[in-house]
Structure 1
């Protein structure tokens, strides 16, 4: 921890205590994420609260507050905002507890499926009741910038090479097909990182975190993020069952998912491929730019996801050929 971080942590603690009107409080790190944000847990006679430290030079608390209000208005469980100092980048939030779904959900697929049905019901509720107007558009420009993270950071920085002309042609074909798939889908509220690590075991369940990057985008994005997790892999049979549960819930709620389950699953899996390529680039960037190497340890999981799809989806065959050329084994 740098001296500046020490100073910010102490300033955040003093501000939170003053906001709550307490003088004696326990203070400990709660969590950190892939951004510059940090979270602390404040324990006092008034109970437990979470302090978000988001340095204004790197982070903007505005989107967090705006999206939290949308989720709360839709009847979903998010941390209540107890206080804010946007000039310094401090938020005081209600504490949804210490157990994420990543920690708490059962690993047996049959038991996990019931948990997933609860998560997809919450997702359908968000998609049905939140008007995404005014959120950033998950458009061709943003999708393309995300995909470019893979050649720039994972291939260029992590693998230490550039695409050959033949590899560039394969990559261009993959990107064209993934963009067409994403842009053809109906647009809804997209959390953008809807996975067990960002869901809390709480009442009501789940509590939803890390929603500040929400956008208006493809309807399949969040549900495939839930099942093709960054930190936990599930058998494809469970993924297929879970996607079917979501599809039935979405149809019953009147959401504009594809009329045929097979078509929806194909859209979702291709959407997942775009996300996995992006995440590989992000994890490499976090490693080499931000000095956080642990995220890249999960790269084999994403390569396995990509390999599995390239093996069964003819549209993604060029991706399989590219991974071969890059020497990225399953």
Structure 2
């Protein structure tokens, strides 16, 4: 019997023996980029989500702690009904099937993005849980994330042998990105605030999920995660308009020109990291589905990075070496 089925049976047994619910059948809802799996079951006419978060690779205690902090701040997150940290199981509110990502279209995007951006101030007010302060997105943290790009996308996936000049170029480019990233004011950061982690609930509010990696970091991080989403792409004029309106409403104490630089470079840092993570998901975790998102993610770096002279050589490297290699490799596998 495979490990997934064993865990599913253990989860159902735990629900029936250790919670106030009765579960006759678990329906798989989804897995995601982590090792968590989500199931749905019906109890007295109400759907409940049951989560399998294997404790060796997932910290469901962190999710539960952040959920409580977010809820106290007015962030619309699932309620946690029951949990077992040793087993890595918990039950939570079922936010339904209304995915923000699927509701986005040319007519709805303006309204939906403004509503989603309006959720960020409450998230930013959360800088601690009952267990203490959230981790700080510090220099070491940023460098570790940027290193995912070099290790997993360039070396492991593309098997590029970097020259000394290329390695030095990456080091210089990453130093500039880190400096800008860390120079801006900080606040609470969801860290994965994008279209797939937002739900549209029956009462028309936005529900927020997948927040267990929350940190204290740059004020632009969640905004750029949403507006330059690795899974969605909108005309730059629209993104610029939404960003300016968000800045004017919530961050007008900071000059727009400074805010725009923070926003752009924070997005580039995120896209560098994400493209490496997508390669790692393929190679380490055997999740091929994310490979198709790498070209879009790299294209963001090129389009935004070309506006900054400090990133000229990085943009040229990605344009001439990295992106074409990805396209060729993926074309060969299709």
- Within a 5 Å distance, the mapping from 1:1-330 to structure 2 comes to 3-19=2-18, 21-23=20-22, 25-105=24-104, 107-108=105-106, 111-127=108-124, 129-132=125-128, 134-202=133-201, 203=203, 205-251=205-251, 259-329=254-324
Deviations 1:196-217 (A, max 9, x none): 1000001362100000000011
Residue 325 of structure 1, CA deviation: 4.9
Deviations 1:252-298 (A, max 9, x none): xxxxx662223211210110000000001111111001111111111
Residue 23 of structure 1, CA deviation: 4.3
- Classify 1:24/1:85 alpha carbon distance in 2 versus 1 (closer, same or farther; 3 Å): closer
Residue 14 of structure 1, CA deviation: 2.3
Q: Secondary structure at the match of 1:145?
A: helix
Contact 1:309 1:316 in 2 (8 A): no
Residue 300 of structure 1, CA deviation: 0.8
- Classify 1:50/1:23 alpha carbon distance in 2 versus 1 (closer, same or farther; 3 Å): closer
Residue 303 of structure 1, CA deviation: 1.3
Q: Could you tell me the TM-score, scaled by structure 2's length?
A: 0.91
Q: Secondary structure at the match of 2:56?
A: coil
Distance in 1 separating the partners of 2:272 and 2:23: 47
Contact 1:82 1:92 in 2 (8 A): yes
Give the RMSD, CA atoms, in angstroms. Answer: 1.7
Contact 2:302 2:319 in 1 (8 A): no
Deviations 1:28-75 (A, max 9, x none): 111111111111011122410001101111111111011101110011
Distance in 1 separating the partners of 2:231 and 2:272: 15
Instruction: Count matched residues.
Output: 321
- Classify 1:32/1:24 alpha carbon distance in 2 versus 1 (closer, same or farther; 3 Å): closer
Deviations 1:72-110 (A, max 9, x none): 0011110100000111000110111112101123x11x5
Residue 125 of structure 1, CA deviation: 2.3
Distance in 2 separating the partners of 1:219 and 1:177: 18
Contact 1:77 1:204 in 2 (8 A): no
Contact 1:99 1:201 in 2 (8 A): yes
Unaligned runs of 5+ in 2: 328-334
Residue 19 of structure 1, CA deviation: 4.7
- Classify 1:262/1:130 alpha carbon distance in 2 versus 1 (closer, same or farther; 3 Å): same
- Classify 1:327/1:289 alpha carbon distance in 2 versus 1 (closer, same or farther; 3 Å): closer
Distance in 2 separating the partners of 1:139 and 1:215: 10
Distance in 1 separating the partners of 2:210 and 2:21: 28
Contact 1:220 1:271 in 2 (8 A): yes
Distance in 2 separating the partners of 1:11 and 1:137: 35
Structure 1, 111-120 or 205-214: larger mean CA deviation: 111-120
For 1:254, the equivalent position in structure 2 comes to: none
